[in-house]
Structure 1
Amino acid sequence: MSFEQWLQSRLTAHLWPVGAIDGEIGPVTVAALKGFQKAKGLKVTGVADEATIAALRLPASDVPTPLPERDQEPAKEAFQSSKTVWPRQSQCMSFYGPVGQNQTAIEIPFDMFLAWDKETRIRKMTLHQKVAPSALKVLQRVSAIYSATDRKALGLDLFGGSLNVRKMRGGSSYSMNSWGIAIDFDPERNGLYTKKPNARLSHPDAVPFWVAWESEGWLSLGRARDMDWMHVQAARL
């Protein structure tokens, strides 16, 4: 692994995704590097100096986050924010309430199209009120990380569904989509039983996408069980 690839992989590990970990230091990597430096109280240069490299070498959970002398109160709020812990699948009824209820719509921050009718543009997505702000935050981050061309190549622009009240395939329990707490992307190339590397979203260039969701506590069944790579959910197994 080259130094450039190491740099990109460490930024991604610290929840500053850079897109593909390809060793090409472009605008996305530089922007992520500046964001990391600013968040950690380092000199914001967009260049990996010794202090930045030392911070990147630490485990993500152990990186110190010194506060700047000015604007300390807003900074404390940012540094003290933590990943949401969503309920387990078995706890969804008590946490989210009855299936199909308490729903709201969010505006999708980039062009999406129905996976089964690619001429139909989707502008809104229906999700449970408790998860909608978190999902919107992730989608906004995905929009910033990936260009339209990259989103199309990965299939992130193909909407496979969110709210859909139904039982799990082959089971008696409700699917996570029944509460509007799950989203599916590009189901054609990421089928329920399609494993890596055949599933498109199992490829390395999708890692920043999954890290963006995981930073908000969402779960990828693909990353957890190497199945259903289309699917991300606000519920633990």
Structure 2
Amino acid sequence: MNFEQWLQSRLTAHGYAVGMIDGDVGPVTIAALKAFEKAHGLTIDGIADPKVVAALRASASAVSPKIMTEIPNRDIVPVKEAFQASKTIWPRQSECLAVYGPVGQNQVQIEVPFDMFLAWSPSTRLRKMTLHRKVAASAERVLQRVAQIYNAKERASLGIDQFGGSLNVRKMRGGNSYSMHSWGIAIDFDPLRNGLHVHKPQARLSHPDAVHFWVVWEGEGWLSLGKARDFDWMHVQAARL
């Protein structure tokens, strides 16, 4: 792993996901770096100087609460799943290693069909999203359908144009299991208004105008943790509980 890849991996570990860890320090990586610098009181210049490197080496448990307050252990909390007819039946979380392979691998990039922005850098336009190759086409179909259902103003109102992360190799807080993001099979939307412990009706994506958004994801078999538990409304995943 070269320095650029290390930089991307540490930013991702701190909650500023840059997508594929490929060593290509482009606009998304620079935006994540500047957001990290701002959150840690460092000079906001997008340069990985010694102070930035030292902060990145520190434990990622000090992630800015505006981005992430806790990583849920989605494997051990029992829930009652509602049956939802869908085109695809994704594996259960416990089967992800067998179905999707090693974490962080088999990743591809999809085109985002509408204006989407980084949640931690709202002025930065996101043009591609990194996901596991087995779920990429499904997610792309959903996003294309979302673009047809909601116009730009409606997407902004809902916050579904605010990207909170997809691929992010990490363990669940306080456990040994990997987060679903580690396989690139989960996507977060608008984390500022749909925090981990924000319930309905406070969570923006729990409102009636978001129903069609979730219907499209469910039509492809993806699971909304908010709908399943009234918990973590930002999150949708291609895995059953």
SS in 2 for 1:159: strand
- Counterpart of 2:134? 130
Deviations 1:195-216 (A, max 9, x none): 0000000000001000000000
Equivalent of residue 198 in structure 2, options 194, 201, 204: 194
- Counterpart of 2:174? 170
CA distance in 2, matches of 1:94, 1:207: 32
Deviation at 1:168? 1.4
Letter in 1 for 2:189: F
TM-score calculated relative to the size of structure 1: 0.65
Higher RCO (Cα < 8 Å, 6 or more apart)? 2
CA distance in 2, matches of 1:170, 1:210: 29
Letter in 2 for 1:153: S
SS in 1 for 2:214: helix
CA distance in 1, matches of 2:150, 2:109: 23
- Counterpart of 1:101? 105
Equivalent of residue 225 in structure 1, options 214, 224, 229: 229
- Counterpart of 2:24? none
SS in 2 for 1:190: coil
Letter in 1 for 2:116: M
- Counterpart of 2:157? 153
Tell which structure's C-alpha radius of gyration is larger.
1
SS in 1 for 2:87: coil
SS in 1 for 2:134: coil
Residue 87 in structure 1 maps to residue 91 in structure 2: yes
Letter in 1 for 2:154: D
Residue 209 in structure 1 maps to residue 213 in structure 2: yes
CA distance in 1, matches of 2:94, 2:148: 34
Deviation at 1:232? 0.2
Letter in 2 for 1:92: C
SS in 1 for 2:220: coil
Deviation at 1:83? 1.1
1:2-41 superposed matches below 5 A: none
Letter in 1 for 2:98: S
Letter in 2 for 1:119: S
TM-score calculated relative to the size of structure 2: 0.64
Letter in 2 for 1:156: I
Letter in 1 for 2:216: A
Deviation at 1:169? 2.4
Unaligned ranges ≥5, structure 2:
1-83
SS in 1 for 2:211: helix
Deviation at 1:170? 2.8
Q: Percent identity?
A: 75
- Counterpart of 1:27? none
SS in 1 for 2:104: coil
Unaligned ranges ≥5, structure 1:
1-59, 62-81
